[in-house]
Amino acid sequence: MAAGPPPPLEPSPLPVFPEEGFGEKFLRKTRENPLVPLGCLCTVGALAYGLISFRKGNTRRSQLMMRARIVAQGFTFAALMGGTVATAIKSR
């Protein structure tokens, strides 16, 4: 067995990435998958309007908005899963 040069004593340095703040990360993630924030806004809007309707005594509208909230949550979840699958496929 031929003896080569000994391995380096110090490991190679790790790459240094710039610090990313909350705003930059939020904008990057929003650009990557814009449907998730849209679904979140729709969910919050339907919830708020449903609660306002409930407080005013309009039970029919309140029930409709709670059903709309469930649909919006489903859309948000599907967008989140779709973005995750797309990212996984893109990374291959």
Q: Is residue 25 part of a domain?
A: no
Q: How many CB atoms lie within 10 A of CB 76?
A: 19
Place of tokens 């080569």: 4
Question: pTM of the prediction?
Answer: 0.72
Q: State the pLDDT at residue 1.
A: 58
Q: How many CB atoms lie within 10 A of CB 90?
A: 8
Place of tokens 């004593």: 9
Q: Is residue 2 part of a domain?
A: no
Q: State the pLDDT at residue 38.
A: 95
What is the rounded CA–CA span in Å between residue 7 and residue 76? 51
CB-based contact 32:82 (threshold 8 Å): no
Count of domains forming the chain: 1
Q: Is residue 7 part of a domain?
A: no
Q: Is residue 76 part of a domain?
A: yes
Q: Is residue 66 part of a domain?
A: yes
At what angle are helices 59-91 and 35-56 packed, to 10 degrees?
Answer: 170
Looking at residue 86, its amino acid is A
Q: Is residue 59 part of a domain?
A: yes
The pair of three-digit structure tokens given for residue 81, joined into one six-digit string: 């899963």
Q: Is residue 21 part of a domain?
A: no
Query: In terms of residue numbers, what domain contains 78?
Result: 33-91
Q: Is residue 54 part of a domain?
A: yes
User: What pLDDT tens digit does each residue of the chain (92 aa) get?
Assistant: 567 887 777 877 888 888 889 999 999 989 988 999 999 999 999 999 999 999 999 999 999 999 999 999 999 999 999 999 988 898 87
